[in-house]
Structure 1
Amino acid sequence: MDAPAISRTEKLLSAVLNNLKKYLLAIASSLFAVFLAMSSFFTTELGYTYVVQDTLFGTIRVFTEPGLHFKVPFFSNVYTYNQAMTLSFGNQESGEKIKSTRQLSEVEVQFADTYTARIPATFRFRLSADPEKIVAMHREFRSYDNLIDSLLIKNAKNVTVVTATQYTGEEFFQGGLNKFKVQLEDQLQNGLYETERQQVEVEQTDLAAVSSTNDDGDRLERKVQLVWKNIILQDSAGQAKRIANPLDAYGIQVRQVTIGRPLPEKRLDELLVKKKDLVAKRITAIQAQETARAEAKTAQLEKEIEKARAIQDAQRSKELAIISKQKEVEMERQQAELETVRKEKEKAVAVLEKQKQLEISVAERDIQKANAEAATYAAKAIREQGLAEAEVAKAHLLAKQAARDIYMAEIQRDIAQVMYPALKDVTIDMPDYYVGADAGASPVSSLEVFTSLGAMEQLRRSSGQTIPQ
């Protein structure tokens, strides 16, 4: 190949390489820009607390709500904390494991009487929503795992162990679990009680020592022992004194404490089992004794009942015979009394009849007398009323006579008030002819009237006038 061709090929290769470098630089710049943009923002989710530490400007920010936030790329660290945490110490009932932040073994505790046990428990905590407390917590523990391992787990185990020293093993397993749970939750939330180690008398059941007087190694005996226990101290107001709670400084709250089925050590378990068996045997023996006593008492009562029944039967027969005789005597007495009463009744009825007739006669006499007096009073009343009315009429008449003109004028006025409205639309036409008789003459007969009317009709026709009727 000649020199010009080689020169053109080199130039072409150089141009291709230059363009490739530009493209690669552009791609790298784009990828860096995308990476820079992605590093400048982060998202927060519900249920988590985020602590953002800016090493460039030395600022710390806290986010507890979901959203999109800015951060300085390459100079910001984001620390994530769960807002709620569950610590499970040991498996719960039926071997079921609870979904939790940490799965740990049961808390081993030692009671005041040196017996030990393993207590499965679950503790649920919640972080504070105060940013200042979150920052103080982050400064102290630096990470979520360190917070759980260094504070929450150790504090929960410590409070559980300390609370157990306030109980004896037998007291705990014989009804003290509920009170233990209440005190455990109270101390975990509000701080441990201040206690003082003291010797107290505790009545408990234990295996009796084998001796010359006892060859039963399983026999239990109740005895009073002096046991060292942590006694809760109280202030002047009667409230329990407390030690500062390490959770208060960071605002961490205890939301829930649950206790599973405690597992006692072998010696304590054997003691409780034997005690339960002996108590059951004792209850069975007591019940058998009570049953035997009840059966004996029942048999005795049955005999007494039979005896009482025989006595009652004999007494009843005697009483029936007496009652029969008493009945006969009573019936005869009642019959005699009935006859006497009947005669007395007839006599009383006759007397009453006479008295009734007498009272009727007296009543009739009184009625007649009252009627006569009433008639007399009625006649007097009528007479008096008539006299009074006559006096009133006389007074009216005298008044009218005294003012005769006024009285007549009032009468004319009343007549006018009635007649004038009635004659308002009445028209009176005077007749053209009148047939009548003179004063003092005899009355006009019907024939004369008809004759006059006929003549007037003829006159009307001849003159063309209408004769009024």
Structure 2
Amino acid sequence: MEESTISRARKAVSPKSIFITLGAIGALAVLKSSILMTDAGYTYVHQNNITGALDVFTEPGIHVRMPFLSKITRYDQVITVSFGNNQGEAFYQRLPSLQVRFADTYTGQVPATFRFKLSHSPEQIIQMHREFRSNDNLIETMLIKNARNVTVITATQYTGEEFFQGGLNQFKAQLADQLSNGIYTTERRQVEVEQVDLVPVGFDQDDSNKLQATKQLVWKTIPVTDKSGQPIRQDNPLSQYGVTVTQVTIGDPSPEDQLDKLLTDKKKLVAERIRTIQEQETSKAQAKTEQLRKEIQRTREVQDAQRAKELAVISQQKEVEIARQIAERELVEERKKKEIAALSKAKELEMAQANLEIQKANAAAASFEAKAIRETGIAEAEVLAAKYKALGTYEKIYTAEMNRDVAKVLYQNLPNFKVEMPQNYIGGNGGMTSNLDVITGFSALGLMEKSKELSQQSKQ
């Protein structure tokens, strides 16, 4: 039973199917080895091992390569080298801080970060690949060593005190310049270093709180300049490969213990000197303040006396002015009274003349009115006499017209007349002689009307 099963399995897996499967796998392997897919941010160098040709790819895409007989080397287009940063991802981003020695033999730790950008020129990339052969070798043997070397050389151009007392920004600018364009050609000379310090403390000084420039002789590395004043530079190892420096960042540097103690002691001495100067200035200010206070008090007293004198003069002038104004006001009032009296008399005269004219006008008007009334009465009497004379002449016609008008009015109002006879009558030979008779009669009438209503309701 088992032998028959094995024989059937051998028949199912034939050599032909095995060859087909192996051919498909080989074709996929050849196809995968023949295609190169490039990503953004990287530069790829393709080396054909048969012909020895080198191809450079700097843009993302799909490219054809020699399968199995070619080599691909990838370079970062932008490389960051960090000294003193323990948070980096690669070894060249987790390097210790740079230790530098200054011109006055003091040392210090300087954390720094450098950012480099590779060239896009195929010739420069191929030259760089021929010399360094890998991305890590390029970073370790050229970028890191060059950055450390330029930083150390730049530090020799500064003293420790100069560096830690405000020279960091200038140090950063010179470091970036030498790293990008080449190191300065230098020579060691003894030069005067100018320092800013407070003047010595004294009791009779008005400028003891001011700063003064002091000079000190030190040995420094000085850049050599040409006739135009530009620094003479050495060859830049980055320029032949097209590598450029895009950013230089300096962290918080730390001096050695001896330099740190020197700076701390100097800071304390300056602080003590400033405190002493402040105390002197405070004493001077207090003395000046007291003197000014006395001067102000004396000036205030003089001003108060002058003000009192001026107030007395003003008071007298005010009284004189008030008396003058009172006299002028009384004179004006007297003049006003006279003018008012004159105006009053003139007004009475005008009123009397006006009344005379009014009375004359009223008399003339009354005379004219009497004449008009007389003429009107004469005219009305003549009209009435003519009217009655005419009526007497046509008496019958006038009477007929009056009767006609009366008949016409009666005829028009005849439908509105209604004559009703009384239903009850109370009376006697002698009439009603007392109130009791009247009341009795009205009661009888009421009873008769009530009985009449009841009879009508019973009929209904």
Q: Which amino acid aligns with 2:87?
A: K
Q: Which residue of 2 aligns with 1:165?
A: 156
1:87 equivalenced with 2:81 (yes/no)? yes
Question: How does 1:146-157 map onto structure 2 within 5 Å?
Answer: 146-157=137-148
Question: How does 1:5-154 map onto structure 2 within 5 Å?
Answer: 16=10, 20-91=14-85, 97-98=87-88, 101-154=92-145
From the superposition, tell whether residues 331 and 191 of structure 1 become closer, same or farther in structure 2 (CA, over 3 Å): same
For the residue of structure 2 that corresponds to 1:187, the secondary structure is helix
Question: How does 1:239-388 map onto structure 2 within 5 Å?
Answer: 239-321=230-312
Q: Output the CA distance in 1 between the equivalents of 2:224 and 2:323.
A: 94
Q: Output the CA distance in 1 between the equivalents of 2:191 and 2:301.
A: 65
Q: Which residue of 1 aligns with 2:443?
A: none
Per-residue CA deviations over 1:290-313 (Å, capped at 9, x if unaligned) read 122212211222122222222333
Q: Percent identity?
A: 56
Q: Which residue of 1 aligns with 2:385?
A: none
TM-score (norm 2): 0.61
Q: Which residue of 2 aligns with 1:408?
A: none
Q: Which residue of 2 aligns with 1:232?
A: 223
Q: Which amino acid aligns with 1:112?
A: A
Per-residue CA deviations over 1:231-267 (Å, capped at 9, x if unaligned) read 1111122211111100000000111110000011001
For the residue of structure 2 that corresponds to 1:198, the secondary structure is strand
Contact 1:170–1:204 (CA under 8 A) maintained in structure 2? no
From the superposition, tell whether residues 316 and 224 of structure 1 become closer, same or farther in structure 2 (CA, over 3 Å): closer
Kindly tell me the number of residue pairs found equivalent between the two proteins: 311
For the residue of structure 2 that corresponds to 1:104, the secondary structure is coil
- Structure 1 gaps of 5+ residues are 1-8, 207-221, 339-469
From the superposition, tell whether residues 13 and 324 of structure 1 become closer, same or farther in structure 2 (CA, over 3 Å): closer
Q: How far does residue 27 in structure 1 lie from its aligned partner after superposition? A: 2.1
Q: How far does residue 68 in structure 1 lie from its aligned partner after superposition? A: 1.2
Q: Which residue of 2 aligns with 1:460?
A: none
Q: How far does residue 193 in structure 1 lie from its aligned partner after superposition? A: 1.1
Q: Which amino acid aligns with 2:120?
A: A
Q: How far does residue 201 in structure 1 lie from its aligned partner after superposition? A: 2.0
Q: Output the CA distance in 2 between the equivalents of 1:16 and 1:98.
A: 58
Q: Output the CA distance in 2 between the equivalents of 1:170 and 1:109.
A: 14
Q: How far does residue 316 in structure 1 lie from its aligned partner after superposition? A: 3.4
From the superposition, tell whether residues 331 and 24 of structure 1 become closer, same or farther in structure 2 (CA, over 3 Å): closer
Contact 1:123–1:156 (CA under 8 A) maintained in structure 2? yes
Q: Output the CA distance in 2 between the equivalents of 1:185 and 1:98.
A: 22
For the residue of structure 1 that corresponds to 2:232, the secondary structure is coil
Q: Output the CA distance in 1 between the equivalents of 2:241 and 2:14.
A: 58
